[in-house]
Amino acid sequence: LLTPYGHHDREQLGLAGGPLHDPRVIAYLLQPDLFTGYPAQVTVETDSPLTLGQTVVNPRCDASSPPSVQVMHQVDADGVYDLIVQQLAGLSPRA
């Protein structure tokens, strides 16, 4: 299922496979202990023509800029992969 998806990242970037962005969100909801993060204020630049659309992460939050998100910076990749495989194995085939 994921072989064609990861082909580009293997060939162009030298990675073992493609990132699994969407399944990681579900993995976090099912098993958040697989992830490590920190609270931060995240904004999107809307004024500068040089950095328009750039995401700016400020980990030094205070009363004037309280955290708006939890930024994940580590993941137990094997644990997430095992969870995905486990969940897929439990699916019933359609008739």
Catalytic residues: 21
Closest to 38 measured CA to CA, from 74, 62, 12:
74
The full 3-state SS of 19-62, as one line of letters, equals CCHHHHHHHHHHCHHHEEEEEEEEEECCCCCCCCCCEEEECCCE
d(CA 3, CA 7) in angstroms, rounded, equals: 6
